[in-house]
């Protein structure tokens, strides 16, 4: 693998690190599939096609970014659709849709799903006093050897505490989240956003609000929208776990190691195993002291 990427590395405890920062997505990728993480975040090779649902979600995020930035609903939806149509076929994992006709039908269905999802959201769009849209920030946190980076969909004035800030994250889903495991993922993401937003605004961050929008219409006519709220006043123990997890992950990438695939990874398992099968990563890639 390329060693030129290591020029961008940081040092921690005298050891060379292969990345410049942690993000929620990179940390989760490392925990799920270290070899796929190495390819994407160290070698910066991002050739794995995205699932249609992920592309629809990004298009919907584009629409909401423009809507909360001040553009009208129709214009915002059109800009999201423009993004969706700009995604090339090779960037999409079409699954069983192999023929040109099948792929065209799949893309048509993606557009229908996108338009339906955005119409559900914008029909009852939550109102906020918006301070920032798509806020990208990096923060150096005491006790962590690497900076952390996050993108916050919306930064808004808190409705429950005067002078404080809430962070809003939009998710377009096939089914509403439930269960304790999902809560853990939300809390870890929330803390990344907490530190980075605090770095920019310097104000108390009170809540992380996940606003889920279900893409397919509920048969019973119930709401397509659901909120999940994390109150940082209740997260002292979660911050401790977050720091320990990030530090342990940093220690792992600092040591000399082999990066092994996870074939059971539903997103990148097959791709990571192909890399392993072809021997594209071996011990020589870690000679730099990783």
How far is CA 253 from each of CA 217, 287, 289, rounded to the nearest angstrom? 43, 13, 10
For residue 210, list its beta bridge partners: 169, 228
| pTM for the full predicted model | 0.84
HSE, CB side, 13 Å, CA atoms: give it for residue 19: 25
Domain parsing of the chain, residue ranges:
19-48+255-285, 52-123, 130-246
Pairing of strands 22-23, 10-12: unpaired
The CATH class that applies to domain 130-246 reads alpha beta
Per-residue pLDDT in tens (0 to 9) along the chain, 290 residues: 444 433 444 555 556 899 999 999 999 999 888 888 998 999 898 888 899 999 999 999 999 999 999 999 999 999 999 999 999 999 999 988 989 999 999 999 999 999 999 999 999 899 999 999 999 999 999 999 999 999 999 999 999 999 999 999 999 998 888 764 458 889 999 999 999 999 999 999 999 999 999 988 888 888 999 999 999 999 999 999 999 999 999 999 998 877 766 666 555 545 655 554 555 554 444 443 33
Q: What is the dihedral of CA 148, 174, 222, 133, to 10 degrees?
A: 30
Using DSSP's 3-state secondary structure scheme, residue 72 falls into: coil
């Amino acid at each position: 693998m390329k060693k030129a990427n290591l020029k961008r590395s940081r040092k921690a405890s005298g050891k060379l690190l292969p990345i410049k920062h942690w993000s929620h997505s990179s940390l989760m990728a490392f925990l799920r599939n270290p070899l796929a993480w190495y390819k994407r975040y160290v070698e910066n090779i991002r050739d794995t096609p995205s699932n249609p649902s992920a592309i629809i979600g990004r298009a919907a995020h584009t629409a909401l970014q423009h809507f909360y930035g001040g553009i009208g609903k129709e214009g915002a939806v059109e800009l999201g659709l423009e993004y969706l149509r700009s995604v090339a076929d090779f960037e999409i994992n079409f699954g069983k849709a192999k023929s040109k006709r099948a792929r065209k039908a799949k893309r048509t269905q993606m557009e229908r799903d996108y338009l339906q999802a955005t119409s559900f959201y914008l029909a009852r769009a939550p109102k906020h006093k918006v301070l920032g849209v798509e806020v990208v920030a990096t923060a150096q946190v005491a006790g962590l050897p690497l900076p952390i980076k996050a993108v916050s969909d919306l930064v808004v004035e808190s409705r429950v505490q005067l002078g404080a800030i809430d962070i809003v994250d939009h998710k377009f889903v096939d089914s509403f989240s439930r269960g304790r495991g999902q809560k853990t993922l939300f809390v870890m993401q929330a803390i990344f956003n907490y530190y980075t937003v605090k770095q920019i605004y310097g104000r108390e961050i009170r809540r992380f609000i996940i606003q889920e929008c279900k893409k397919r219409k509920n048969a019973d006519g119930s709401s397509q929208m659901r909120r999940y709220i994390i109150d940082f006043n209740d997260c002292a123990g979660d911050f401790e776990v977050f720091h320990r997890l990030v530090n342990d992950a940093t220690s792992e990438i600092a040591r000399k190691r082999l990066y092994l695939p996870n074939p059971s990874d539903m997103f990148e398992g097959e791709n990571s195993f192909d890399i392993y099968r072809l021997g594209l990563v071996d011990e020589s890639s870690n000679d730099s002291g990783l």
